[in-house]
Structure 1
Amino acid sequence: MTATPSPTPQIDSRLPQVGTTIFSTMSALAQQHGAVNLGQGFPDFACDPALIEAVHAAMLQGHNQYPMMSGVPALREAVANKIATLYGHRYQADSEITITAGATQAIFTALLAIVHAGDEVIILEPCYDSYAPNIELSGGVVVRVPLDAASFRPDFARIKAAITPRTRAIIINSPHNPSATVWTAEEMAQLAALLRDTDILLISDEVYEHMVFDGAAHQSVACFPELAARSFIISSFGKTYHVTGWKVGYVAAPASLSREFRKVHQYNVFTVNTPMQFGLASFMQQPTPYLELPAFYQRKRDFFRAGLAGSKLRMLPCEGSYFQCVDISEVASFAATGQQGDQAFCEWLTREVGVAAIPMSAFIAKPEGPQNIVRFCFAKRDETLTQALALLREL
C-alpha cells in the first residue's frame, strides 16, 4: 500500500504582501526577450584585476578560515582611515567599524538591534525596497513620508509631522536610489536640528558615497558630529569596487551602537568572507580607485544623457549614484498602446523595444496619481549603453 503523503504544514507569512522583487522580474523579462538590461543596478564590466590578485594572494597565504566576528582588523582600519580622511570623523577601528555581508545585511542588522515591537521607523519614499520589509521583520511599524514629488528632496515639515513618541529611527539615503538626488550640507544641518532634542536613531545608507557629480561633495553623516553620534553609517565595497556579487559592506557607528549591532551580527551572519576582506584591505591602501570614481561615473552619466537628448524621454537631474530617471509622458508610441503607468511602460519597453528599466512606482508602497517615471542604470560598458541608446532614440 502506498502511504498518502502528509500535507505540508501551513504558516502565517511574516511578509504576506511581498512577492518577487521588481528587479528579479524585470531581469528575467530582459533575459527572455534578449533586451539590453539597464534595470538592475550592477555593472556589466570587470573590476580592477589588481583587486582579484589581492584576493587570490590572500587565499594562497592561507586566509581561508573564520576571521574575527567584527571583521579583519586591517580592513576595519582602512575603512576608519578613509572616513577620517574624507569626512573628518575618526571612528575607532576595533570598536566602531564592523564588516558586513553587504549593505542590505547591515541595514537589517541595525534595525534588529534597535527596534522593539511597535517602534516606528520613518522611511522617505521612494526608497530602496528592502527598508520596509526589514522594519516589519524587526517588529517595527513602517512610517512612510514622501519626498517632494517634484524634486525628490526631503520635506522636513512632513518628516517633523511624522515623528511621534514611538519613533525609534529614520532611514535616509544619499546619493539616492532611485532618484539620483544628493543631500546638501544644509539639508543635513536641518535634519540635525530636527533630531537634536530626541532619542531618535539614524540609519544612513551611503552605498553610492563615491558617485557624486559636478564637483559636489558627498555630505556623509560622519561630517556632522550631532548626527554621527546617533547614526549607523552603511556603505558597500560592492558598489565602490564594481563587485556587487561579493556582498561585502560595512557599518560605522559609535561604540555603544556598534556593541548592540554586533550582538545581532554574530548570530545572523557571524562573520564575512575572509580572503575578500584581506584582499580589500590590501587594495584600499591605494585610495585612487575610489577617489577617481566620481569622474568615472560622471563620464558615463554624461555619455548616457547626451545619447538620450534626442529621445522622447525627458531626463530628470542626476546628481549622484549610477541611475538616470526619465519622464515617459511624451512617448507617443507607448501611449498609442492604450496602456498606462510606469510598470506597464517598462514591460512594453523590454518586450517591444528591447531595453529593460525599473518603474519608479516599485519604490513606493502606494503610488498616488499617474506614475510616469522610470529608472535606468548607466553602470554599463559603453557598448551596452550605445546599444540601448540607439533603441531608445527610436521611441
Structure 2
Amino acid sequence: MEDFESHRIIRADRLNGLELSEIVRISEKAAYLRKQGKDVVALSTGEPDFPTPDFVIDAAMVAARSGATRYTPTAGTIELRSAVAAEHGRQPGEVVISSGAKQVLSNAIFATVNPGDEVVIPAPFWTSYADMVRIAGGVPVIVKCGVEQGFKLRPEQLQSTLTERSKWLLLNSPSNPTGAIYSAKEFSGLAEVLRGHPAIGVISDEIYAHLSYKQFTSFLAAAPDLADRTLIVSGVSKAWAMTGWRIGWGVGPTNLIKAIIDVQGQSTSGTCSISQAAALAALEGDRTLLTKRCDIYCKRRDHVVAKLNAIPGITCTVPDGAFYVFPTCPFDDGEFCAQLLEDVGVAVVPGRAFGMPGHFRLSFAYSDANLDAGISRMARFFEGYQK
C-alpha cells in the first residue's frame, strides 16, 4: 500500500518552516510531565488565573436559555459591535467581531498582504505575528528593539526599515512578552515617520490595554489623523479572564473591516452567539473588578521583579503592563529553559520564541504560591547551572 505520508497534498508549501509555537510546545511538555507524576510549576502561559466574572457567566446562561443559539452575522451581533464601537469612539460599521484577537490579526493580514509584501515587526514580538505574515506569503521584517531602548521601536529604526514593499507596521502595547507600553510621545514619533509613507498601515494590538500600570495611550489617540489606515485589535480575553470564550475585535476603516469580514465569511463565519452575549455583558458591566485585579497583578509584578533581580546573573526590568516579565538570561535561553523544566519542573519560555534570544518570559498570571515556588526552584537551578 502506498505510504499516505508520501502524498504532497498533506502539507502545502506555504507551511514550510511553520510549526507549533514554542509557547504551546512548552505548555504541552509541562502537562505531559505532570501526567507522568512530576511536580511541575508552569509559569509559561498568558492566561489569567482569575475566573470569568460571575455577571458575565450569568449573561451567557440567560442568552443560552432564551434561545440565542443561532448563527450570528459574520461581522458580529449589532449589539456587541455597537458596544465595541462606543468603547473606541467609532461606528458599528467600523467593527468586526472574531473568535479571539488572534483571528482578527490573522484575517487582517490574510486579507491585505500579497506575496512579497513586508510587515515591519519590532522584536521582541508575540510569536504568532511573524508566522501569520509568512503563511499569507508576506515577509516579516524584524527590527531588534533591545532592553537598552525599553524594548520599543524608535522612529529612526522605522524610517530606515521602510521600503516600497512595506504594507504594515505591527505594534503591540502593552507588549507580550515585555510589558512595555508606548507613551503618547513615542507613538507620535512613529506616526510622524508614517505620515511620509501614506501607503503603509498600522496594526496596533492593544489586547492588554486594561492591564496597564502606567498611563495607557492607544495609537489612534496619539495619531487620530491616521485612522483611515489603522486597525486597533483588542478583546475580552485577558482583562476579563475570558480566554476560552474566544472573543476579540478589530476596529478600523470600513474598507479594511469589509475585507476582514470577507475572509471570515469563508472560514469561521459568525462568532459564537453565547460568547458574544458574554462579551457584551463584560463591556457593559461594572469595571471595578478590573481595577482590583490590575492592582493584584501590579503587586505580583513588583514581587516577581524583586525576587528575580535577587538571583545573581539575572537582570529584570519592571514591565509597565500585561502580566509578563522578560529577564535577561546569560546562557543559551533555549537550552536553559528546556533544562529548567526537565530538572526542576519549572516552565518558562525562551526569548528566542519572541525573536529576542538572551532572555526568557515568565508570566505572573499565577498565584503567589506558584510564583514563589517556581522562582525559588529557578534560583537554586540557576546557581548550579552556572557552575
TM-score by length of 2: 0.89
Q: Distance in 1 between matches of 2:41 and 2:3?
A: 45
* One-letter identity of the residue aligned with 1:376: L
Q: State the match for 2:61 in structure 1.
A: 56
Q: Relative to structure 1, is the Cα distance of residues 227 and 384 closer, same or farther in structure 2, using a 3 angstrom cutoff?
A: farther
CA displacement at 1:149 relative to structure 2: 4.9
Equivalent of 2:340, from 349, 370, 374?
349
Summarize the alignment of residues 1-395 of structure 1 with structure 2, pairs less than 5 Å apart: 4-5=1-2, 7=4, 8-11=6-9, 12-31=12-31, 32=33, 33-83=38-88, 90-93=89-92, 95-150=93-148, 151-197=150-196, 198-213=198-213, 216-223=214-221, 224-288=223-287, 289-312=289-312, 313-329=314-330, 340-364=331-355, 371-394=357-380, 395=382
Percent of matched pairs sharing the same residue: 28
Contact 2:94–2:253 (CA under 8 A) maintained in structure 1: yes
Letter in 2 for 1:254: P
Give the 3-state SS of the residue equivalent to 2:338 in structure 1: helix
Separation in structure 1 between the aligned mates of residue 58 and residue 200 of structure 2, nearest angstrom? 43
Q: Deviations over 1:154-173 (max 9, x none)?
A: 12212111111111111111
Structure 1 runs, 4 residues or longer, greater than 6 Å off: none
Shift of 1:178: 1.0
User: Matched residues in 1 for 2:138 and 2:309: separation?
Assistant: 44
Q: In structure 1, the residue corresponding to 2:284 is in which secondary structure?
A: coil
Distance 1:276 1:245 in 2: 9
> Contact 2:240 / 2:282 at 8 angstroms: preserved in 1?
no
| 1:290-311 alpha-carbon deviations (Å, 9 max, x no partner) | 4545323212212323443533
For residue 130 of structure 1, report the CA deviation from its aligned partner: 1.3
Q: Do the aligned partners of residues 15 and 204 (structure 1) sit closer, same or farther apart at CA in structure 2, a change above 3 Å counting?
A: same
CA distance in structure 1 between the partners assigned to 2:336 and 2:111 by the alignment: 40
Q: Matches of 1:226 and 1:290 in 2, distance apart?
A: 30
SS in 2 for 1:315: coil
Question: What do residues 49-85 of structure 1 show as CA deviations (whole Å, max 9, x unaligned)?
Answer: 22222211111111111112111222122222222xx
Q: Which amino acid in the other structure matches residue 284 of structure 1? A: L
The residue type equivalent to 2:368 in the other structure is: D
SS at match of 1:294: helix
Kindly provide the amino acid, as one letter, of the partner of residue 241 in structure 1: W
Report how many aligned residue pairs link the two structures: 368
- Name structure 2 gaps, 5 residues minimum: 383-387
1:181/1:320 contact within 8 Å kept = yes
Deviation at 1:287, TM superposition (A): 4.2
Distance 1:297 1:44 in 2: 10
Is the Cα–Cα contact under 8 Å of residues 236 and 282 in structure 2 kept in the other structure? no
- Root-mean-square deviation over aligned CA pairs: 1.9
The Cα shift of 1:6 comes to 5.9
Measured after TM superposition, the shift of residue 5 of structure 1 is 4.2
Distance 1:177 1:388 in 2: 20
Residues 314 and 219 (structure 1 numbering): CA distance in 2 closer, same or farther, change over 3 Å? same
Distance in structure 1 (CA, Å) of the matches to 2:19 and 2:189: 36
Alpha carbons 2:324, 2:361 under 8 Å: kept: yes
